[in-house]
Chains A and B, each alone.
Chain A
Amino acid sequence: MNSTSQAIRTIVYSAITALNEELPKGERVEFKGDCRLIGPRGNLSSLQVVNLVIHVEEGIAEHIGAELELTVNEELFNQDGPLQTVDTLIAYLSKALAVDNG
């Protein structure tokens, strides 16, 4: 994993940490790649998803210096879209930033 990929993972985990502050103990998002975010087995409300995505956007702007307009991308919020799991989100961000995720 290159340093940018690692930075993206750190940014996503940091966004999850911020989101977890407003979630009760049993509903917190786990720091696992296969943890569901949205879809049938995801627990997040639409407001929480928006908060997560905005945290990620801000983190990428601050730490990588790139302006990703995630919030205007409707595909992102589809049930089978990039927000299905933590890993699919990271993969999507890596691709969007044209990063080699290998």
Chain B
Amino acid sequence: MDRQNVSVYLVADFTVGSFAALLEQDITAPHLTVTEAPYNQVEPALLALADGTSSAKEVVFVWTRPEAVIGSFAKLLRGEAVSIARILEEVKVFCETVARAAAGCECLFIPLWTVPAHLRGLGLLDLKLQEQGIGAALMQMNGLVLERFSTEHNIYPLNAARWIQQVGERSFNPKQWYLGKVRFANEVFKEAVLDLKAGLSALNGDARKLLIVDLDNTLWGGIVGDTGWAGITLGGHDAVGEAFVDFQRGLKALKQRGILLGILSKNDESVAMEALTRHPEMVLRPDDFAGWRISWSDKAEKMVELVMELNLGLQSTVFIDDSAFERGRIRESLPEVLVPDWPSNPMLFVKALEGLRCFDAATLTDEDRNRHATYLEERRRDGSMRQAMSPEAWLETLEMRIQVEPLQPGNLARVVQLLNKTNQMNLRTRRMTVDSFQEWCGGENRFFRAFRVSDRFGDSGLTALLSLERSGAQAEIIDFVVSCRVLKRGVEEVLVSRAVEQCRRMGVGRLVATCLLTEKNGPCLTFWESSGFKRQEAGHSFTFDTHQPYDPPAHIEITELTAGDSQES
């Protein structure tokens, strides 16, 4: 999928002209080009995608009315007696059609079914009578859709009910329906645009990874430097105090999802740390933060330092501060950082936080859940480096181990996630779906390995990828991906060494690496410039004669799993 321009194919059984227009007119990345399947031709359009008579699509968006695609549900709406088993049988058939259609696209989005809010069905009994209630039937139908698609790598159900809740009574206008066969108001379509765009950003690996917050009047009420930790507003029987506690809980929930937390505050560090450590109602303690800069210096300067320390990019960063001045300062000086407008009332903080779509991710793996722990290990590692005599001596003390493994069902999701999320040390920044990557790896003359990195401080998980493609007497490195968590410890050299070794095994004498430059992968080019490979004139290609030795770093113990070896996922 092209990161900046994506084509979307809309399949619907109601008029979606306004939705298509809103998708195309939305100025946030990626830019969308939209085509519509013929009106109310859902099944033929899906079948055409499935059997390949319709050209392959990038993104397909299937938005249907339950009564239009599930005949038995339409009967139920008319008050006819229909068994829920019959309805669910039809849902299964519809889901199979959608699943087959998904083979004809990179990814498919499907909003769950809704009915207009004024449709009360049997009223009190609507959820109690499972065989006759409209609401009860709809919930079971949607449940079945979720269950069926939970194992499909490229199908993403979307919560349309939430869009309708956001808009309220105006989400459905009967006049719009009778005059134009438009099911939803434009306000609902706008919510759908936001979720689709967030989803595409997630699939493109553009999800933000780091949330940096201010302290005074952001994490708690008041100025800790003035009042001391006992005087700040946090918790207690106080509306604002409770709101700050809930905001901290919201931040902690993000941390559990793998979003790193950082602090950027103008304060005395010792005073701020005392508050974080000693206040009894503080939800976030120092160990919940991957890093911080607490000083009286300019926040923009300190933010750059902090982001660099965490080996992340500014484009991965979000900044929350109650001060409009500080927000403006960061927006102007560091435009890549996302600085959301922030309410002045602390009771609106949680709503503002939970409304952010920038953290949406395409997958959630064990590596994500453990990311924070990995950074804590990194902090300890950094302390160790400061004590060591030189970077080389420090590396010797790490007791690093790398396990090299082939693509397997247990690591597939993480491999594709890493491929799609890594920006800095990424040779070609390929973005692929699980299916397309698996298919690519199965191709002739191709080689792939994933790398798990650990050391005496902990396990960084599956954090590097290498793939090659042979063409005659030479091979080209296609994917050279290293997570920022393990950069500059010799992992890059292990990958290169493994690539050279593989060339020898394949009888290939020349290895080529071509860096496709993006705004973010400058560190990758820098690595290749000092890799020992010969740079080709004019361009970012590097070559190596594989008859020459390219030994892996001596401080790393390397083991290799074969396809038959069992492993943890």
* Same assembly: yes
Which residues from 41 to 92 on chain A have a C-beta closer than 8 Å to any C-beta of chain B? 45-48, 50-51, 54, 57-58, 71
Q: Which residues of B contact A48 (CB under 8 A)?
A: 18
Q: Report A1-34 CB contacts with B as 1/0, cut-off 8 Å.
A: 0000000000000000010011110000000000
Q: Which of the candidate stretches B169-177, B336-344, B365-373, B453-461 sits at the interface with the other chain?
A: B169-177
Residue of A nearest to B178 (CB): A71
Q: Which residues of A contact B170 (CB under 8 A)?
A: 58
Could you tell me if B176 and A18 are in contact, using CB atoms closer than 8 angstroms? no
Q: Which residues of B contact A46 (CB under 8 A)?
A: 180
Query: What is the CA–CA distance of A57 and B180 in the complex, to the nearest angstrom?
Result: 16
Q: Which residues of A contact B24 (CB under 8 A)?
A: 24
Could you tell me if A22 and B180 are in contact, using CB atoms closer than 8 angstroms? no
Could you tell me if B175 and A71 are in contact, using CB atoms closer than 8 angstroms? yes
Could you tell me if B186 and A50 are in contact, using CB atoms closer than 8 angstroms? no
Could you tell me if B18 and A51 are in contact, using CB atoms closer than 8 angstroms? yes
B17 within 8 A of A: yes
Q: Which residues of B contact A71 (CB under 8 A)?
A: 175, 179
B182 within 8 A of A: yes
Q: Which residues of B contact A50 (CB under 8 A)?
A: 175-176, 179-180, 182
Dominant SS among interface residues on chain A: helix
Q: Which residues of B contact A18 (CB under 8 A)?
A: 186
Residue of B nearest to A25 (CB): B25
Could you tell me if B22 and A21 are in contact, using CB atoms closer than 8 angstroms? yes
Could you tell me if A22 and B175 are in contact, using CB atoms closer than 8 angstroms? no
Could you tell me if B176 and A23 are in contact, using CB atoms closer than 8 angstroms? no
Query: What is the CA–CA distance of A5 and B183 in the complex, to the nearest angstrom?
Result: 32
Could you tell me if A22 and B182 are in contact, using CB atoms closer than 8 angstroms? no
The 8 Å CB contact of A21, one of B15, B25, B173, B175, is B25
The 8 Å CB contact of B18, one of A22, A24, A57, A58, is A22
Could you tell me if A45 and B173 are in contact, using CB atoms closer than 8 angstroms? no
Query: What is the CA–CA distance of A59 and B175 in the complex, to the nearest angstrom?
Result: 15
Q: Which residues of A contact B179 (CB under 8 A)?
A: 50, 71
Could you tell me if A47 and B22 are in contact, using CB atoms closer than 8 angstroms? no
With contacts A46-B180, A47-B180 taken as known, whether A22 is within 8 angstroms of B15 at the C-beta atoms is no
Distance of B40 from chain A, by nearest CB (Å): 15
Distance of A25 from chain B, by nearest CB (Å): 9
The 8 Å CB contact of B21, one of A23, A54, A57, A58, is A23
Could you tell me if A24 and B186 are in contact, using CB atoms closer than 8 angstroms? no
Distance of A92 from chain B, by nearest CB (Å): 18
With contacts A54-B175, A54-B176, A58-B170 taken as known, whether A47 is within 8 angstroms of B182 at the C-beta atoms is yes
Query: What is the CA–CA distance of A50 and B181 in the complex, to the nearest angstrom?
Result: 11
Could you tell me if A51 and B176 are in contact, using CB atoms closer than 8 angstroms? yes
The 8 Å CB contact of B186, one of A21, A45, A57, is A21
Residue of B nearest to A19 (CB): B186
Q: Which residues of A contact B21 (CB under 8 A)?
A: 22-23
Q: Report B165-199 CB contacts with A as 1/0, cut-off 8 Å.
A: 00000100101100110100010001000000000
Q: Which residues of B contact A51 (CB under 8 A)?
A: 18, 176, 180, 182, 186
Q: Report B1-39 CB contacts with A as 1/0, cut-off 8 Å.
A: 000000000000001011001101100000000000000
Which residues from 333 to 351 on chain B have a C-beta closer than 8 Å to any C-beta of chain A? none
Could you tell me if B173 and A54 are in contact, using CB atoms closer than 8 angstroms? yes
Residue of B nearest to A72 (CB): B175
Distance of B493 from chain A, by nearest CB (Å): 51
Distance of B283 from chain A, by nearest CB (Å): 40
Q: Which residues of A contact B180 (CB under 8 A)?
A: 46-47, 50-51
Residue of A nearest to B20 (CB): A22
Q: Which residues of B contact A47 (CB under 8 A)?
A: 15, 17-18, 180, 182
Q: Which residues of A contact B176 (CB under 8 A)?
A: 50-51, 54
Residue of A nearest to B18 (CB): A22
Residue of B nearest to A28 (CB): B25
Distance of B14 from chain A, by nearest CB (Å): 12
Query: What is the CA–CA distance of A57 and B21 in the complex, to the nearest angstrom?
Result: 22
Distance of B185 from chain A, by nearest CB (Å): 8
Which residues from 244 to 299 on chain B have a C-beta closer than 8 Å to any C-beta of chain A? none
Query: What is the CA–CA distance of A21 and B24 in the complex, to the nearest angstrom?
Result: 10
Distance of B86 from chain A, by nearest CB (Å): 36
Which 9 residue pairs across A and B have the least CB separation, nearest first? Answer: A22-B21, A71-B175, A50-B179, A50-B180, A47-B180, A47-B17, A22-B22, A22-B18, A54-B176
Q: Known A-B contacts: A50-B176, A50-B179. Give 9 more (CB < 8 A).
A: A21-B22, A21-B25, A21-B190, A46-B180, A47-B17, A50-B182, A54-B173, A54-B175, A54-B176
Q: Can you name 18 A-B pairs with beta carbons within 8 Å?
A: A18-B186, A21-B22, A21-B25, A21-B186, A22-B18, A22-B186, A23-B21, A24-B25, A47-B17, A47-B180, A50-B175, A50-B180, A51-B176, A51-B182, A54-B173, A58-B170, A71-B175, A71-B179
- Which A positions have Cβ atoms within 8 angstroms of B? 18, 21-24, 45-48, 50-51, 54, 57-58, 71
